[in-house]
Chain A
Amino acid sequence: MKKFLSTLFSATVLAGVVSTSSVVNAADELNVVMFGMPYTKGLAALADDFEAKTGIKANIDVIGQDVFENRITLSFTGKSGDIDVVHTPVIQVQRWVSAGWLKPITAEVDAMAVKSDIMAGPLDAYKINGEQWAVPYMAATGLMTYRKDILEEAGVEVPQTWEDMLSVAAKIHNDDTAAIAMRAVPGQGFNMFIFPMVMRAYGGKFFEDYTGGDLTPAINSPETLEALNVYMKLLNDYGPQGAGNFNFAEVQAAAQNGQIAFAVEGTGIAASLVDPEKSKFADKTGITLPPAGPAGRSPAIAVHGLGIPASAKNPELSAKFIEWAVSTETMTKIALAQPFSNFTTQPVAQNEEVVAKYSKVHPDFLTVQAEALNLAIGHYRPLLPEWPALGQAIGENINAALNGLSSPEEALEAAEQEMRDILGN
Chain B
Amino acid sequence: MTSSTHLKTRGRATAELEGGYRRMMLPAVFAVGLFAIIPLAGMLALSFSDYHLLRGTNWEFGLKNFVRLASDKRLMNSVYAMAILSFFGVATQVLIGAAIAVGLSKIVGRWRLGRVLFLLPYAVPHVAVALIWLSLFTPTLSPINAFFDIFGITVPSFLTTKNGALFAIVMADTWTNFPFTMLIILAALQGISPDLEEAAALDGATRVKTFFYITLPLLIPAFLMVTLFRFIDSLKHFPMIFVMTKGGPGRSTQATNYYAYIQTFQNSNVAYGAAIAVTLFVVAAFISFYVAKLNQRVTS
Contacts and interface: CB of A to CB of B under 8 A. Distances in A.
Given A5-B45, A12-B46, A396 B251 contact: yes
B133 interface: no
B46 A405 contact: no
Closest 6 CB pairs of A and B: A400-B250, A12-B42, A403-B249, A244-B160, A15-B39, A242-B157
A11 B38 contact: yes
A405 B245 CA distance: 15
B162 interface: yes
B276 to A, nearest CB: 14
Interface stretch (B23-31, B216-224, B260-268): B260-268
B250 A396 contact: yes
A389 B267 contact: yes
A241 B149 CA distance: 12
Interface stretch (B51-59, B113-121, B174-182, B292-300): B51-59
Interface of B: 35, 38-39, 41-43, 45-46, 49, 51, 53-54, 59, 137-141, 145, 154, 157, 159-162, 165, 242, 245-252, 254, 262, 265-268, 270, 274
15 contacts: A12-B274, A95-B54, A185-B245, A186-B246, A244-B157, A244-B248, A245-B249, A388-B266, A388-B267, A388-B268, A396-B251, A397-B250, A400-B250, A403-B161, A422-B267
Contacts of A402: 249
Contacts of A98: 54
A196 interface: no
A423 B251 CA distance: 21
Contacts of B252: 405
Contacts, number: 128
Interface in A214-253: 240-247, 250, 253
Interface string A151-181: 0000000000000000000000000000000
Interface residues of A, number: 48
The listed residue with most A CB atoms (<10 A of its CB), out of B46, B254, B265, is B265
A9 interface: yes
Nearest to B43: A12
Contacts of B43: 12
Nearest to B53: A99
A299 B35 CA distance: 48
B267 A242 contact: no
A128 to B, nearest CB: 14
Given A15-B35, A244-B157, A388-B266, 19 more contacts: A5-B45, A8-B42, A9-B45, A9-B51, A11-B39, A12-B39, A12-B46, A95-B268, A98-B54, A242-B137, A242-B160, A243-B160, A244-B160, A245-B159, A246-B138, A247-B246, A385-B54, A392-B262, A422-B267
Interface in A245-275: 245-247, 250, 253-254, 257, 259
Contacts of A185: 245-246, 248
B42 A241 contact: no
A66 interface: yes
Contact of A241 (B154, B250, B262): B154
Interface of A: 2, 5, 8-9, 11-13, 15, 66, 69-70, 73, 77, 95, 98-99, 185-188, 190, 240-247, 250, 253-254, 257, 259, 385-386, 388-389, 392, 396-397, 399-400, 402-403, 405-406, 422
Contacts of A259: 140
Contacts of A388: 266-268
B171 to A, nearest CB: 15
Nearest to B247: A186
Given A95-B268, A250-B138, A396 B39 contact: no
A421 to B, nearest CB: 10
A420 to B, nearest CB: 14
A242 B139 contact: yes
Nearest to B254: A396
Nearest to A11: B42
A8 B43 CA distance: 9
B246 A15 contact: no
A8 B159 CA distance: 41
A254 B141 CA distance: 8
Contacts of A2: 59
Contacts of A8: 38, 41-42, 45
B140 A403 contact: no
B267 A403 contact: no
Contacts of B242: 66
Nearest to A14: B39
A9 to B, nearest CB: 6
A244 B54 contact: no
A99 B160 CA distance: 36
Contact of B141 (A190, A253, A385, A405): A253
A396 B43 CA distance: 28
B142 to A, nearest CB: 9
A73 B265 contact: yes
Contacts of B49: 5, 9
The listed residue with most B CB atoms (<10 A of its CB), out of A186, A254, A406, is A186
Contacts of A244: 157, 159-160, 248-249
A406 B160 CA distance: 13
B248 A403 contact: yes
The listed residue with most A CB atoms (<10 A of its CB), out of B49, B54, B140, is B140
Contacts of A389: 266-268
A188 B246 CA distance: 11
Nearest to A98: B54
B159 A242 contact: yes
B38 A245 contact: no
A418 to B, nearest CB: 9
A361 B42 CA distance: 54
A69 B54 contact: no
A257 B250 contact: no
The listed residue with most A CB atoms (<10 A of its CB), out of B35, B46, B54, B247, is B54
B139 A13 contact: no
A403 B250 contact: yes
